Structure 1
């Protein structure tokens, strides 16, 4: 989301996680900093160097963009040097952060999943940012993205590369199937019916085109959470201590998810890799897909057909979890470094930068002010698909985030996948998930 703006890291996570993977976006580094006002710096200030952990593989356009942003910030703030440290995927970066913190050498600043909050709190690793920014600053972000930044009223991170799940659909294939290319399915029934018409078999009876693909690796919990929100409930409390995996609404959602492949035969059975679903859509192998809005620019660049983007179809209502990563400042660093890190965060979240990053990557602009810039206004006017994820935020909720989040997410993912493969019923998968999660979380409820 899981996953409202996309910044540097967002694109990097397109295929790894909710947002969430290695990006192949072609960014335009020079344009990001075009109209940012300079910051006044005391010339006699003590030099500070910040180690900035960033989840992206070394090399490629995203690292060049980040390097340039670090250089531009240094030009405006000559006494502060930002040194990006590229850490691979979100998971790889979190592992490096944990190792560094346990070894007493934490980074100064990092982009990590917004859902890593409670794991970082358990380590006593991160700085309380509530007093570091004024209330108006936090109010500038879309409220849907603030949920995974807080525990209670305390703000522990800043939204940075954030997303939601959206529906992508191939308008050319809609026309070919006799469907209205300007009207995406608005509810589950319409989605199932459209997917049926869009599923095509060849002369040998083998499916050559699927109606819909919803990923079933890595982030299947995120997809199920969207379906659960559409059915009327979220799957997690806002304190990281309770999950609601076996509610009737979640069972209804998982049954729908599994039926698309096992019963309706409009989605491939078995495993659908997170990273290959966008490729299947771009190649025409599937007519529709559920995926992060962080893939928007990639689809726009690579698809050789007219495509649409819409809200995820509703059941009882619309809904999607947010996703993506936030900026965290670490607790053990010096006060000089904390102040420098806050200044860098302010630099990264200025409206023009947020707007340009959204254009370059496809992620949602995290701040309201970004959508008030001429840059993003004109882009949305010419490419209205870019406004869909932002507009869907009114129906969005926080992504699954708990204490021991890695363990809870893994067991949930494993059980969901067992249901999708037909090895377990929806009820069995969810009852097992609830029992296992309760066992892990019980010590945090005392």
Structure 2
């Protein structure tokens, strides 16, 4: 009798275990940053809720981890200490470092079906440039931007300028900036803290030169066109006096613009919705002015898949990434932030069509993608970028001349990139 009970209990236990494993949820931990204004964690939480409703077998823990740098630090320490993390949104320019540390897998290894392949090929090519390295796709666009020029239309009118005609060239920007500058107000502010290299890329590409090679193994900091670009940026404050001398803070520039301390600013389109909510005046958004050519680097964050995830977790993570980059969510995220809808399909959704019609400023960053370049990124990218950031700030604060600063940065970068030369 006792043996019968034992056998029955054992069978029941096995059945319960089988049932539990059949209903065991795949758990995902996703880290993400936010580097622009607005209560955006709520938007992400809403997307995660929608995903879990559609996929009850997957449980997602979305962890807001601060700005991009904070998020990278948190993710790397979590992975090193053995805490599970299957996916994350990190800087699109982190790809080289993540590959070097052998932390991520290319999407090409996970994407199998025709639908998945079509999805992977559905993003704007300019937004894929940072994620495609050595023939593989390591990052997929999520919160992506270009740098645009915001301008105060009321101030344009007051200065006798046409508010519908923003400056289209460097020369026009300087001329307009002089008319807009007066006691207590600058004509133009360009941030030089936070991401100086990113803003500097604008000046360099507009002067006809990219800062790095396509393989991420060499840089062109000491090229005459690049030195000339930094000279021009510095001249905006020193000779032209349309910008503040010294450094302009990334983190407070949006407030400076909405408070009327500057008539124009260069900033990420990711701040567009915050400016729209905060500005008490009519403002315009324009593509950046051209010199030898027009152009802006792309920016922002990509999704990455971590190598430590199991095959089941990887499939679930891919499902989540596809959900969050689907046209409807890309449209929702673009409207909530100002970031670019990551695929042409996002702009075909009813909501983004209607929004673009009512608020055409929302389409400027997308239109600028046709002249956009990949954001600055190389092997050993953090240290190479630091050398460039230091050079830019030394030149803008007058510690060194642009030529001296960039030549030093070039020497540092050459040393750091030596191991990666093919």
Same fold (TM over 0.5): yes
2:349 to 360, 367, 373: 373
How much has 1:77 moved relative to structure 2? Answer: 0.6
How much has 1:361 moved relative to structure 2? Answer: 0.9
How is 1:20-99 mapped onto 2 (pairs within 5 angstroms)?
Answer: 44=22, 46-56=24-34, 61-99=39-77
Q: Secondary structure at the match of 1:163?
A: strand
Query: Does the CA-based 8 Å contact 2:298-2:375 persist in structure 1?
Result: yes
Query: Any idea what the Cα deviations from partners look like across 1:248-278, whole Å, max 9, x if unmatched?
Result: 1111111110000111111000111001111
Residue matched to 2:325: 349
Q: Hey, what's the Cα distance between the residues in 1 that align with 2:277 and 2:379?
A: 39
1:188 to 170, 177, 182: 170
Q: Hey, what's the Cα distance between the residues in 2 that align with 1:180 and 1:129?
A: 48
Residue matched to 2:107: 129
How much has 1:104 moved relative to structure 2? Answer: 3.5
Residue matched to 1:161: 143
Query: Does the CA-based 8 Å contact 1:147-1:398 persist in structure 2?
Result: yes
Residue matched to 1:101: 79
How much has 1:44 moved relative to structure 2? Answer: 5.0
Residue matched to 2:314: 338
Q: Hey, what's the Cα distance between the residues in 2 that align with 1:398 and 1:48?
A: 35
Q: Secondary structure at the match of 2:262?
A: coil
1:150 to 99, 113, 132: 132
How much has 1:304 moved relative to structure 2? Answer: 0.7
Report whether the alignment pairs 1:212 with 2:188: yes
Query: Does the CA-based 8 Å contact 2:119-2:322 persist in structure 1?
Result: no
How much has 1:47 moved relative to structure 2? Answer: 1.9
Larger radius of gyration: 2
How much has 1:101 moved relative to structure 2? Answer: 2.7
Q: Hey, what's the Cα distance between the residues in 2 that align with 1:45 and 1:365?
A: 36
Residue matched to 2:13: none
Query: Does the CA-based 8 Å contact 2:40-2:336 persist in structure 1?
Result: no
Q: How many residues align?
A: 396
RMSD of aligned alpha carbons: 1.5
How much has 1:69 moved relative to structure 2? Answer: 1.7
Query: Does the CA-based 8 Å contact 2:110-2:314 persist in structure 1?
Result: no
1:198 to 180, 185, 194: 180
How much has 1:139 moved relative to structure 2? Answer: 2.4
Query: Any idea what the Cα deviations from partners look like across 1:42-72, whole Å, max 9, x if unmatched?
Result: x956520001111249xx8322222222222
Report whether the alignment pairs 1:328 with 2:304: yes
How much has 1:177 moved relative to structure 2? Answer: 0.6
Structure 1 unaligned blocks of 5 or more: 1-42, 202-207
Structure 2 unaligned blocks of 5 or more: 1-20
Residue matched to 2:156: 174
Query: Does the CA-based 8 Å contact 2:29-2:84 persist in structure 1?
Result: no
